[in-house]
Amino acid sequence: MKLALTPARFPYRKFLLALLVSAVGGGIFYWAHLPLPWVLGPLTGCSIAAVLSVPLAAPPAIRAPMTSIIGVTMGTTFSPDIIAQMPGWGASILGLFVYLMISASICIAYFRYVARFDLRTAYFAGMPGGIVEMITLSDLYGGNIRKVSLVQAARILTMVFTLPFLVSLISGADISARGRTGSSITELPPSAYLWVIGTALLGLLLGRIARLPAKWLMGPMLVSAAVHAFGLTEFRPPSEMVNLAQLIIGMTLGCRFAGVPAREILHTLMISVGSVVLLLGTALISAYLVSRITDESVISLILAYSPGGLAEMSLVALALHAEVAFVVAHHLVRVFAVLTLAQPIFRLLQHLSRNDRQH
> pLDDT tens digits, residue range 301-336?
999 998 877 777 877 887 777 788 888 889 888 887
Checking if the pLDDT of 179 tops 60, the result is no
d(CA 252, CA 235) in angstroms, rounded, equals 28
Q: Which of 255-259, 321-325, 355-359 has the lowest mean pLDDT?
A: 355-359
For residue 305, the model assigns a pLDDT of 93
Say whether pLDDT at 233 is over 70: yes
Is the pLDDT at 356 greater than 60, yes or no?
Answer: no
Q: What is the rounded CA–CA span in Å between residue 31 and residue 22?
A: 14
- What local confidence, expressed as pLDDT, does residue 232 receive? 86
Q: Which residues contact 291 (CB under 8 A, 6 or more apart)?
A: 297, 298, 301
Find out whether 160 and 312 touch, Cβ atoms under 8 Å: yes
Determine the 3-state secondary structure of 73 from DSSP. Answer: helix
Q: What does the pLDDT read at residue 231? A: 82
Task: Indicate whether this model's pTM tops 0.95.
Answer: no
pLDDT band at 250 (very low <50, low <70, confident <90, very high): confident
* CA gap 225, 79 in Å, rounded: 8
The CA-atom distances, in angstroms, between 145 and each of 131, 137, 265, 275 are 11, 9, 15, 18
Q: What is the model's pLDDT at position 283?
A: 93
The yes-or-no verdict on residue 352 having pLDDT over 80 is no
Output the CA angle 80-85-86, nearest 5 degrees.
100
State the virtual CA torsion across 294, 296, 297, 302 in degrees, nearest 10: -100
- For residues 101 and 124, give the distance between their C-alpha atoms in angstroms, rounded to a whole number: 14
Using 50, 70 and 90 to split pLDDT, how confident is the model at 98? Answer: very high
> Is 306 in contact with 313 (CB distance < 8 Å)?
yes
Q: Which of 36, 96, 44, 64 is nearest to 312 (CA)?
A: 36
Cα–Cα distances (Å) from 197 to 10, 66, 68, in that order, read 25, 12, 10
